[in-house]
């Protein structure tokens, strides 16, 4: 009977020790998670200050203005008229950039007329879209043209059979932004902390 009781006590003590060890491990895990959360909150707050906070230049100018002008000072500003500049069209903005054409030919398996299996001829290269591509210190216009094929036999019989090549899908619809352009702007903005208005000056 005594041996049985001692065995039960030993098992209970072992169970308690295991639970104590689990509690200790859980506390360590909680402490690590709390430290991680604190670090992430600090990083998030830094991002918020960079993205939405007042720029250091504006803050410095505001501080200088406040120090140079006592409270209650009235400043008279002359009225002036500012002319609104007309918005520039894309063609005017891009006219000085070099142009590189990317031709998209019809694949070999689709160059035969589906009606009579005659090899189709190139009619024209159809304009699809235009985007801006960026390499370091270089901006160029990339103009996509896709091949349009027509069957000469069907055309001679006054039947138009055409085939168009597939063109690469744009990153953003109805936008000249290319993957390289977006990546460059994001890098300048978030890695080099270059404001958008300064980037815009580099593009003009």
Give the closest residue to 176 by CA, choosing from 147, 134, 148, 114: 134
Q: What is the pLDDT along the chain (204 residues), one digit of tens a residue?
A: 566 677 777 778 888 888 888 888 888 888 888 888 888 888 888 777 777 665 555 555 555 555 555 555 565 666 656 666 666 677 788 888 889 999 999 999 899 998 898 999 999 999 999 998 877 657 888 999 999 999 988 877 777 788 999 999 998 888 888 888 888 888 888 888 888 888 777 776
To the nearest whole percent, how much of the chain has pLDDT over 90?
19
Give the closest residue to 165 by CA, choosing from 118, 100, 120, 103: 103
pLDDT in tens, 126-139: 999 999 887 765 78
Q: Provide the pLDDT for residue 86.
A: 66
Q: Rg for the chain (alpha carbons), in Å?
A: 35
Distance CA 179, CA 183 (A): 6
């Amino acid at each position: 009977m005594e041996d049985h009781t001692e065995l039960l006590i030993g098992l209970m003590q072992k169970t308690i020790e295991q639970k104590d060890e689990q509690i200790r491990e859980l506390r360590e895990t909680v402490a690590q998670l709390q430290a991680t959360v604190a670090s992430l909150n600090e990083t998030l707050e830094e991002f918020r200050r960079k993205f939405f906070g007042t720029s250091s230049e504006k803050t410095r100018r505001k501080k200088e203005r406040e120090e140079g002008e006592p409270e209650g000072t009235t400043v008279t500003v002359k009225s002036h008229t500012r002319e609104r500049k007309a918005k520039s069209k894309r063609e005017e903005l891009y006219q000085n950039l070099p142009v590189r054409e990317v031709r998209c030919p019809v694949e070999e398996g689709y160059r035969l007329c589906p009606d009579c299996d005659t090899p189709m001829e190139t009619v024209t290269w159809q304009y699809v879209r235009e985007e801006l591509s960026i390499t370091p210190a270089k901006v160029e216009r990339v103009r996509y043209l896709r091949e349009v094929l027509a069957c000469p036999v069907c055309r001679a019989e006054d039947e138009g059979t055409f085939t168009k090549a597939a063109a690469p899908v744009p990153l953003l619809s109805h936008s000249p932004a290319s993957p390289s352009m977006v990546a460059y702007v994001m890098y300048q903005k978030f890695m080099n902390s270059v404001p958008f208005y300064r980037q815009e000056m580099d593009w003009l």
